[in-house]
Each structure stands twice: as C-alpha cells, then as structure tokens.
Amino acid sequence: MKALAAFKYYEATTVKDAVSVLKQYPGKAKVYAGGVDMIDWMKKRYMPTPQVLVNIKKIPGLNKIEKQSDGVHIGPTVTLAQLVDDSTIPMLGEAAKKGPAPNLRTQATVGGNLCQNVWCWYYRWPEWNCYRKGGPVCFAPPGRNAFHAIMEQKVCNATVPGDVSVALAALNASIKIEGGEGSKTVPIKDFFIVLGTVLKPDEIVTDIVVPEVPSKGVFLKSRTRSAIDFATASVALATTSKGTTVALGGVAPIIPTGTPDEMKAAVDKATPLSENKYKISVVKSLLKQAGA
C-alpha cells in the first residue's frame, strides 16, 4: 500500500461553508466524515485521490437523533455506534450492529454509509478500469462473481454495501441535500442510481428523515464471516400505519424496495450470474424469517 498522496484539508464550521469549498474545487473536493471508506480509497488509490477533503464532523447539529413532528431526524454525522446505543428505532441499531466492527462503528457515520462508493473486488484494484470507474467493461459476468448482484444489474453487477442504508430504505426515509444550487429532498428509493447516487460534486447530505417509527421493524443479514463481513444478502422490513415495506441488500447496485409481494416477485425474476444463484435461496429464507 502506498503512502497517502498530498491533499488539502478543510474543517467546515457550517454547511454553507462546506458547500462553498466543494464548489470552489469542482469534482476535486470530497466530503470527509468518519473517513472509514475515504482513507481506504486514498491509500489504495483505486480512484483518483481527491485534492481537497472537507471535514463536516465539526459542523454543529449534524450529529443528533431527534424526534420532531414530521418524523425522526438523523443527522449525517451520527455514528453507527450512536445508532447502536439509541433506542428510537431499534432496527437501525440492529443494522448498525451487523455492519462494521465496533472500532469502525465509532468513526463511521450514517451519511458515509449512504454515500460510500458502491464497489466490488474488481473495482478496488487501481488497474481494473470498469464501467463504474468510467471504463468500457464489467469484469464480473465472465469472472468470479459469487458476491455480486442478482437483480437490477443494468451495466454494473456490484451491490450497495451499506446495511444501515438498507434499513433506512425499508423505513421510507427521505434524504435532505444542500448544494451550490440550493436544497432538495430525495426519497431514499430514488437516491441510488445505476452508477452512483443523485449527489452532485458540490452537494452534501444534511439530514435523513424517517417519517414514522415502525410498529414492527426487522433487519436480517447473511454474511460469510459472522463476526464482520459485508452482506451476501440482507432483508429489512418495516411496518407502519401506511403498510409494510421491504428493502433488499447485497443483491443489487441499488436498494430494491417495495411491498413484500413486490419483493418476492422481484426475487422470482432474479438474473443471477454464474456463481451467485445461491443468493436467491438466501433472500427467500430471510424474507420468510422476517415474516414478509
């Protein structure tokens, strides 16, 4: 592993301040939260190193979990450890607990869990220039693909890595975003797109709103190493006064979300690769355990 390349480091004190620095270096500056994903990327250099890091963790008010009249607000710099300790929505704590190891959870943030790169093992090698890096090919279909996607593949067969993000999708959360062109709110189901997220280079996730605490909330995850590993598949299920929503993790480059019947039908129409057909049975079993 190489030493880090040189970069400028900026500690923002307000969201406006952070957005103005991102705007000043179009496409060359990146938000820095817990740094768990970011530093790994910069050390391994599988993507060009950002020239400027904008730390948002010192911005007051972004690290709170608060019940308000329109739902539960979760700040983007709330850590996964905070989620584990908070009892407001237990399924979020469960998802965080099944995520990275305890030492990483004290650093890793909810915003970072949503915005981290979607990746696969080919993506994380600097010399493998695949679609997701702007290249001409996806290496997964003809290669090793046991942990890749089984649905919604389009051009890329990687899977969304964030467990808390999958739980937030079942909770029908909305994502508040601030950027150079103002603010917007995006339902989480529209946040992930074919090769990334809807975030523009000068935009920051500033709030995540869960509209209703579920009467039933479940997060189940299957992984190769039970102590610490990314999901081979996960199922989040939340029941509120509006009905039941299911979100699937570890199976697609976006987070498939819908009613239990819609998700069962989606699994029946899955398009697995040569080595990952087993994921269909895993998801079906998790759906059954979740009571979908």
Amino acid in the structure at residue 91 = M
Stretch that binds ligand FAD, among 20-28, 37-45, 123-131, 208-216 (CB under 6 A): 37-45
Residue closer to ligand FAD, measured from CB, 71 or 100: 100
Beta sheet of 216-222, edge-to-edge order: 216-222, 233-240, 243-249, 257-258
Q: Identify the DSSP state of 105.
A: H
Query: Tokens 């019947």 label which residue?
Result: 261
Query: Tokens 């090769």 label which residue?
Result: 195
Cβ–Cβ < 8 Å for 234, 221: yes
Residue 46 binds to ligand FAD (criterion: CB under 6 A): no
**In the complex, minimum distance from the CB of residue 74 to ligand SF4, in angstroms, rounded to a whole number:** 28
Residue 158 binds to ligand SF4 (criterion: CB under 6 A): yes
Stretch that binds ligand FAD, among 5-13, 129-137, 228-236, 258-266 (CB under 6 A): 228-236
Residue among 120, 173, 231, 263 that touches ligand SF4 (CB under 6 A) = 120
Residue among 122, 192, 219, 230 that touches ligand SF4 (CB under 6 A) = 122
> Could you tell which of ligand FAD, ligand SF4, none binds residue 283, using a CB distance below 5 to 8 A set by kind?
none
Give the SS3 label for residue 176.
Answer: strand
Tokens of 88: 């407001």
| Contact map string, positions 55 to 94, toward ligand FAD, x by CB under 6 A | -x-------------------x------------------
Q: Distance (Å, rounded) from C-alpha 253 to C-alpha 150?
A: 9
- Kindly provide the b/e burial profile for residues 69-89, where b requires at least 16 CB atoms within 10 angstroms of the residue's own CB: eebbbbbbbbbbbbbbebeeb
**In the complex, minimum distance from the CB of residue 274 to ligand SF4, in angstroms, rounded to a whole number:** 13
Residue closer to ligand FAD, measured from CB, 136 or 182: 182
Cβ–Cβ < 8 Å for 239, 214: yes
> Could you tell which of ligand SF4, ligand FAD, none binds residue 99, using a CB distance below 5 to 8 A set by kind?
ligand FAD
Q: Distance (Å, rounded) from C-alpha 180 to C-alpha 16?
A: 9
- State phi, psi for 28 to the nearest 5 degrees: -110, -10
User: Under the rule (CB under 6 A), what is the footprint of ligand SF4?
Assistant: 119-120, 122-123, 130-132, 138-140, 148, 156-158
